[in-house]
Amino acid sequence: MVKIDFGGVVEEVVTREEFSLEKAREALKDEVVAVLGYGVQGPAQSLNMRDNGINVIVGQWKGDPAAWDKAVADGWVPGKTLFDLEEAMDRGTIIQFLVSDAAQMITWPRLKSHLKEGDALYFSHGFSIVFGDRTGVIPPDNVDVIMVAPKGSGTSVRANFLAGAGINSSFAVHQDFTGRAAERATALGIAIGSGYLFPTTFEKEVHSDLTGERGILMGALAGVMEAQYNVLRKHGHSPSEAFNETVEELTQSLIRLVDKNGMDWMYANCSATAQRGALDWLPRFRDAVAPVFDDLYESVVSGEETRIVLETNSADDYKERLDAELKTMRESEMWQAGAAVRSLRPENWEG
């Protein structure tokens, strides 16, 4: 690992310079990586590893024709590199358990007997292990239990890889039976195309991930967008104006400046009026939402968020209720305005 100064706090991280792809290939040369689940992370991680020369196979339910057909369309060959879950586990030495959290709880009882001594059980989220008393996912003592958790969706993991970039990932070792668990995890992190790897624990990954998704990454972001849009509409601004000032300018301009050189650089490259107002209002927003984030973190650590996820996501009608919730969002005025605004971007013009 190399030491990097993160604003006065020194962390040890793994970069692709010190742990090269060639080194990862060497570490994994005798492994068969079985990726279970071709839904969110499965396609990206398996395709990236395949492109990087790692010996990869995919395990997927034949009872899910959409995912099975997608795997076939991506070049996985039934009977050669594409199998049902159990056979993939029998063939693999590293088992990437990338089905959904709820599906892990459901499938674990019939899959756990297919783990072999010395296998590595790999996760991209610590959920099932940390809350094993609720999920029932308790690995045997004779396997490695490791994690590489990309800090982005599967779509981003694949897109960044194809663009020659990478999504940063955390990694952790929960159980080291072989003495090679850390090497296996690091090699896999490089093989899936991570930008750099930073160490964590299964517990810390779960607590930060659940907080982030419910907070600034998705829940809080969507919530504050709705709040601002509604205020502007209430005061007579058109849907186009309200959406552009709330979402379009953020996603198409400002966030790209933050991404390039940081928040202060974005401020420095905006108007003086914007700078002054943003700096004045920043602490008010921070202090207003801090109690909400405290409540959120407590709900995550206590297991309440886990209870909600497992109960709702395993319900027979979950997919129907989810579709209804997303339909409500999609058909709201704000996001209908968003669809219209996106259609007017220059790249969508004809002629």
Q: Which residues are catalytic?
A: 125
Nearest to 314 by CA among 128, 174, 140, 184: 128
The token pair at 105 is 């709880």
69: amino acid identity, one letter: D
User: In this structure, is the dihedral angle defined by the CA atoms of residues 127, 128, 129 and 134, taken in order, positive or negative?
Assistant: positive
Give φ, ψ of 65 to 5 degrees: -60, -30
The token pair at 252 is 């198409």
Q: Whole-angstrom Cα distance, residue 318 to residue 287?
A: 35
Q: Whole-angstrom Cα distance, residue 176 to residue 29?
A: 19
Which H helix or E strand runs over 111? helix 101-111
Q: Whole-angstrom Cα distance, residue 183 to residue 24?
A: 9
Distance of CA 74 to CAs 34, 167, 283, Å?
16, 21, 48
From first CA to last CA, the distance across the chain in angstroms is 52
Q: Whole-angstrom Cα distance, residue 137 to residue 140?
A: 10
Neighbour-count burial of 120, counting CB atoms closer than 10 A to its CB (0-12 exposed, 13-18 middle, 19+ buried): buried
